[in-house]
């Protein structure tokens, strides 16, 4: 049995921690990462074509799935420019349509211009980043980030802002 005093143990542990910090600081301890654009998501979301902006009518949501076939979403043209809106008029937004309270499906109310949950009556405002405005939910709707290709008028889903209900990661 070796005679290891508390002082020797702490000194050896401190030296190991310092060496590890130096290794990480030098970049040698980090895994090789692909270069990322500033502000880009770290998850490899697919770039998925959804629809043509010119074919959309105000207050008529179109269903789609993103980032996979189990994640139900809707894209909607609000008819007026909104924060985060895409398309020529900056009035197109998209959201996950699973309520952030218990995952119930949401429906769009054309009169109130909101997404509503029929289970526990939460209400979300698509014109304000999917903000929860009433009900049992405590989180805003996950927003599907869009890109608009002006050359061919295609809208693409490119990422999810927020966590889709019931998931630990948006990508399965």
pLDDT of 28 reads 47
User: What is the DSSP secondary structure assignment for residue 75, as one 8-state letter?
Assistant: E
Residue whose pair of structure tokens reads 């289970």 in the numeric block: 119
Question: Per residue of the chain (172 residues), what is the pLDDT tens digit?
Answer: 566 677 776 676 666 666 655 555 554 444 344 455 566 545 689 999 999 999 999 999 999 999 999 999 999 999 999 999 999 999 999 999 999 999 999 999 999 999 999 999 999 999 999 999 999 999 999 999 999 999 999 999 999 999 999 998 888 7
Q: Please count the other Cβ atoms lying within 10 Å of the Cβ belonging to residue 39.
A: 5
pLDDT of 31 reads 39
**Quick check: helix, strand or coil at residue 149?**
strand
Q: Quick check: is 129 catalytic? A: no
Retrieve residue 98's tokens. 């699973």
pLDDT of 24 reads 54
pLDDT of 85 reads 96
CA 85 to CA 73: how far, in whole Å? 16
Cα dihedral 162/147/77/64 (nearest 10): -60
Close Cβ partners of 85 (under 8 Å, ≥ 6 residues apart): 78, 91, 92, 93
Active-site entry in 101, 108, 132, 143: 101
What pTM did the predictor assign? 0.74
E strand or H helix at 12, and its extent?
helix 6-26
Cα dihedral 96/101/104/107 (nearest 10): -60
Q: Distance of alpha carbon 116 from its chain centroid, rounded? A: 20
Q: Quick check: is 120 catalytic? A: yes
Active-site entry in 12, 120, 121, 147: 120
């Amino acid at each position: 049995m070796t005679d290891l005093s508390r002082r020797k143990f702490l000194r050896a542990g401190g030296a190991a921690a310092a060496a590890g910090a130096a290794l990480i600081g030098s970049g040698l301890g980090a895994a090789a990462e692909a270069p990322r654009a500033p502000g880009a998501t770290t998850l490899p979301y697919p770039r998925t074509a959804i629809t043509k902006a010119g074919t959309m009518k105000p207050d008529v949501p179109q269903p789609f799935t993103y980032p996979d076939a189990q994640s139900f979403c809707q894209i909607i043209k609000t008819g007026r420019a909104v924060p985060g809106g895409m398309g020529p008029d900056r009035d197109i937004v998209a959201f996950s349509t699973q309520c952030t309270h218990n995952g119930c499906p949401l429906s769009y109310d054309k009169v109130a211009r909101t997404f509503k949950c029929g289970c526990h009556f939460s209400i979300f405002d698509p014109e304000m980043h999917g903000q929860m405005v009433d009900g049992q939910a405590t989180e805003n709707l996950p927003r599907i980030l869009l890109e608009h290709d002006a050359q061919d008028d295609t809208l693409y889903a490119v990422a999810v802002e927020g966590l889709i209900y019931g998931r630990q990661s948006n990508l399965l």
